[in-house]
Amino acid sequence: MKLEDCKEGLDVFIEDDPFDSGIIVSVEKDGLVLVQYGPKTFHKFDPIDLTVKDLEKEKLMAIEYQAKIDKITDLFQKSFDEIASLNHNDNYFFYLKENKLVSTDKLESVFDSNGWSSSSLWC
């Protein structure tokens, strides 16, 4: 962005990173722009490293992300409903784990490889 476009109170992205943003606090005499992130964090930037937030684009992105989150939530619910449908008696966990004809390895591997504990599946 150009120095003349920098105004106090303007929401900006730093280096086009949508997760790194702040508010312009002041335009300094040295041509740098003071940006505040969070309650007590300030940093000076060259105006060329700043991009004005496009609020309309942000809203559209939020709608898209929310739709994906809702879809994922529905898929999780369906998956957990399927797991619950295996519960024919109080010992289904032991049945699934000990039965040589049934393997839960792939299911547990998917959980574990994504940073979750597969043991939570059976609680």
Q: What is the DSSP string of the chain?
A: --GGG--TT-EEEETTEEEEEEEEEEE-TTS-EEEEETTTEEEEE-GGGEEE--HHHHHHHHHHHHHHHHHHHHHHHHHHHHHHHT-SSTTHHHHHHH-TT---HHHHHHHHHTT--GGGGG-
Q: pLDDT per residue over 55-71, tens digit each?
A: 888 899 999 999 999 99
5 pLDDT more than 70: yes
Dump pLDDT digits (tens) for 11-46: 998 887 877 889 999 999 999 999 998 888 999 999
Q: What is the CATH number of domain 3-53?
A: 2.30.30.30
pLDDT computed for residue 69 by the predictor? 97
Of the listed ranges 13-17, 18-22, 82-86, 101-105, the least confidently predicted one is 82-86
Residues 3-12 have a mean pLDDT of 93
Whole-prediction pTM:
0.58
